Amino acid sequence: MIQLRLSTALLFMTGIAFAQESDVRQDTVYRMSPVVVTATTATHRLSPIPFSDLTRTQIQRTYSTQDIPVLLSDLPSMTSYSENGSGIGYNYINLRGFDQRRISVMINGVPQNDPEDHNVYWIDFPDLLASTQVVQVQRGAGSAFYGPPAIGGSVNLIANPFASNPGVTFESAFGFQELAGKGRTDLATRKLALSVNSGLVDGTYMFYGRLGRLSTNGYRELAWVNMHSYFLGAARFDGDMVTRIHLFGGPITDGLAYKGLPKSYNNDVNLRRTNFSDWKYDSTGVSFEYAVPQKSQSREWFSQPHYEIIHDWKLSERLALHTTAFFVQGDGYFDYDGDWLSYTPPAVDWFQRHVGYDSTFGVTSYPTMLIRGSVENRQWGILPRVEIDHGDGTMTLGLELRMHRSLHYGQILFASQYPSSAYAPDTRIYEYRGLRDIASAYVHEVYRMDERVAVTADVQLVYNRYGMRDERFLGHTWSVPYWFVNPRVGANVNLTEHLHVYGFIGYTSREPRMRNHYAAEDAFFGATPEFAADTTGGVVRYDFSRPLAKPERLLDIEMGGGWTSANAHLTANLFWMDFTDELVKSGQVDIFGQPVTGNADKTRHIGLEVDGSVKLNDRWSLSGNFTYSRNRLVRYRVIVDDSTVALDENPIAGFPDVLMNLRASYDDGTIGAAATAKYVGPFYTDNFKNVDNRNDEYRIVNLEGTWRIPFAGFADMTLRCEVRNALNKLYTLSGEGEAFFPSAERNYVLGMMLRF
């Protein structure tokens, strides 16, 4: 009997009930005596928000070696790009064109955006999709209560891999990359993984473990990646509560490929694989002033284990308490080319004053240099919430308490022409400690006015504080607090059993990232604090209570509807996003190819999203999505060569106006096959509407097939084959300014999964 109950419970725990059920209600508790089970949901025909789910079935059909952004890019309004071109390693997502710094990303509700940088380092979640039950993407403002306020939307991965029956799964995959410039196809990618599920033990416990390794040569030169992965979990069922403990992560090493390439390189099968650490056009805009090949020693090592305790307690029939506590520890370093330092006047002065280099540095001696940047991150927090069922609806009261502390420092690993004493291990060229404190409280109400109409309202009060201390050499110490109130209200009306409409209005504010205030790790080559300053008497005095970068503020109005039948669904959504002080890309990049951003006075994003699917018969189905948007600078002034330039009505950098995906699938239970087509329209990579700085439109086709072979009822094997970029198009996925990131040529994956 208990086995039956657990099987039923796990339908909720693993998110199977998630498929068409979804509301901002997080981790709703279902009482199924003698256990309490949870499911994070956003509810179809209840929530007044646009959202999409990537279910466990879809993940199993499509996932082999790709990073998470690649799979998410098939969902409405989403795109991805890869620095090394292979889809493994440093990958990035965009939602409605907004980069991932402005998307709230969570794993089991725990925020994953870097507290200082807001970025999401997907490379630090190796093979996590294999243990993920569902991914939900909510589009629009304020769609997450934890982490940085959602501007473009939110992404929540539910990693809850426990199963009611014991089992063992072995997986392997091999990737082959066509290299037209070399006239051959290389074995480029290898993956091995083993997972074990205990099933129910003593009627109380479940255990899960997964270990894996993935390596790839990458597509661009010296852009290899080696990943080890682990996911360990335990669950205990006690009467009216469930407790889960998760530990996941994996150390990674990779060759750096952070700098994009000249657009002209894309159509040359040899040049598009080039990996520069830095380059710059001369005054002609055609020839290089300089171009520095990436060093083979340029690499990264990083490890970031995640520890989670998730506790769900059904206090009564109408009251439930959910608590998540977590700790994240990140340690690592990256070694990068520093040859350019001796050609940079601020760095020359810095090295002569603080490092002890003689007066020949940057004058007659230009050493080959390798710099190591190291980081030690610690983040911990607790996310409690209470859910109250009051008959006509549900009220959720929640808190977020997080603390982040970090140590950043840089060292000289090697400098030719200088003795080893000049770059001893204790010789640091920058060092500082970062801090971030976050506290928020929210109230979320879903009120059912009658059987057809549901009103949703929520408000979030957010406090967070950036700070920096113990900065070596310059001694800057500062702290900037932010207070935000983020409200949202909406309604859903079910007109018939098939048709519903909804709408919402939300207001969201979001603070700049730490580098917008001060890029302290760049101080040794000229970076200064971005605060108001008094220069009386020729001495610079910063007012650290007056940062120059402003929070961006968004008013988001959306409305849409959906039609659903037994074999088809169609949804459409209109959005109007009005920004004040939006943080937009400038078209410039830092030394690691990351975009430099600044406030634009007034911007606007409007668009239409359409998503649908139809089951043609028991075997064939079609699905697809389409987005059309208009993204414009309404009022934006920049200084160019001491002159003010108005960029009003220019397209915003990084935002394509048209996105489209189409998928045709066949599945008879034994044989599965699918063809997907993707179209991404052109977009500018700066805000000046420069035709040379435009990522051209691209169209690609991917193919996949599976064959399931059962073995006498005790095991089954699934063989898979993929052809990515089947038409072998040469295209760039994205760019920043004049630097573009090419995607790989046609490549293949052969894989096998054996389950017992």
Residues 142-157 have pLDDT tens digits of 767 777 788 999 999 9
Contacts of 382 (CB under 8 A, 6+ apart): 323, 324, 325, 326, 399, 401
Residues 19-29: pLDDT tens digits? Answer: 333 333 344 43
The kind and range of the H/E element at 515 are: helix 514-517
What is the token pair recorded at 720? 């898979």
Q: Residue 38 pLDDT more than 90? A: no
Please tell me the distance from the alpha carbon of residue 651 to that of residue 682, in angstroms, as a whole number: 11
N-to-C CA span, the chain: 24
Instruction: List beta partners, residue 82.
Output: 91
Instruction: Judge contact between 130 and 193, C-beta under 8 A.
Output: yes
The pLDDT tens digits of the residues spanning 101-117 come to: 999 999 999 999 999 99
Residues 6+ apart with CB under 8 A from 397: 385, 386, 388, 441, 442, 443, 444
SS3 12: helix
**pLDDT at residue 666 greater than cutoff 70:** yes
The answer to whether 417 touches 367, Cβ cutoff 8 Å, is yes
Of 663, 676, 659, 658, nearest to 722 by C-alpha is 676
Examine the pLDDT at 592 and tell me if it is beyond 90. no
Asked if 146 contacts 110 with a C-beta cutoff of 8 angstroms, the reply is: yes
Q: Quote the pLDDT of residue 425.
A: 74
In the chain, the percentage of residues whose pLDDT exceeds 70 is 94
Predicted local confidence at residue 6, as pLDDT:
43
Q: Is the pLDDT at 620 greater than 70, yes or no?
A: yes
Q: What is the mean pLDDT of residues 717-721?
A: 97
Distances (CA, A) of 485 to 479, 513, 665: 20, 18, 45
Label residues 462-473 b or e (16+ Cβ within 10 Å = b): bebebbbeebbb
Q: Please, which pLDDT band fits residue 285 given cuts at 50, 70 and 90?
A: confident
Nearest by Cα to 323 from 388, 396, 398, 389: 398
pLDDT digits (tens, 9 = 90+) for 537-590: 888 999 999 999 999 999 999 999 999 999 999 999 999 999 999 999 877 778
Residue 110: CB atoms within 10 Å: 24
Are 445 and 458 within 8 A, CB to CB?
yes
The confidence band for 421, taking pLDDT boundaries of 50, 70 and 90, is confident
**Span 395-414, pLDDT tens digits:** 999 999 999 999 999 999 99
pLDDT of res. 418: 85
- DSSP letters of 248-291? EE--EEEE---S-B-GGGGG-TTGGG--EEEEEE-TTSSSEEEE
- CA-based angle 10:14:17, to the nearest 5? 85
Strand pairing of 132-139 and 110-111? unpaired
Residue 690's contacts (CB-CB under 8 Å, 6 or more residues apart) are 684
The Cα–Cα gap between 130 and 111 comes to 20
Q: Which residue has the tokens 């769609």?
A: 143
Closest by Cα among 317, 315, 41, 31 to 160: 41
How far apart CA 9 and CA 211 sit, in angstroms, is 26
**In the structure, what pLDDT confidence band is assigned to residue 139 with cuts at 50, 70 and 90?**
very high
The model's pLDDT over 431-447, given as tens digits with 9 standing for 90+, comes to: 999 999 999 999 999 99
pLDDT at 35 over 80: no
| Confidence bin at 426 (pLDDT 50/70/90) | confident
Longest dimension (CA), the chain: 87
- Residue 37 pLDDT > 60, yes or no? no
Amino acid at 590: D
Distance between CA atoms of 451 and 492, rounded to whole angstroms?
11
Please give the pLDDT value at position 377.
98
Q: Say how far apart CA 312 and CA 385 lie, in whole Å.
A: 10
Tokens at 588, concatenated: 């410039």
Given a cut of 70, whether residue 14 has pLDDT beyond it is no
Q: Which residue, among 178, 176, 130, 129, has the nearest Cα to 155 in the 3D structure? A: 129
Give the pLDDT score at 41: 54
The DSSP output letter for 61 is: H
Give residue 581's pLDDT.
97
pLDDT at 40 over 80: no
In angstroms and rounded to an integer, the radius of gyration of the C-alpha atoms of the chain is 26
Check: CB of residue 735 under 8 Å from CB of residue 685.
Answer: yes
Q: Look over the chain and give the mean of its residue pLDDT values, rounded to a whole number.
A: 92
The architecture CATH gives domain 2-337+368-755: Beta Barrel (2.40)
83-99 average pLDDT score: 97
Q: Tell me the three-class secondary structure of 97-140, residue by residue.
A: CEEHHHEEEEECCEECCCCCCCCCCHHHCCCHHHHEEEEEEEEC
Q: Calculate mean pLDDT across residues 271-284.
A: 95
What are the two backbone dihedrals, phi and then psi, of residue 142, each rounded to the nearest 5 degrees?
65, 30
pLDDT in tens, 171-208: 999 999 999 999 999 999 999 999 999 999 999 999 99
Among the listed residues 751, 729, 731, the one whose alpha carbon sits nearest the alpha carbon of residue 741:
731
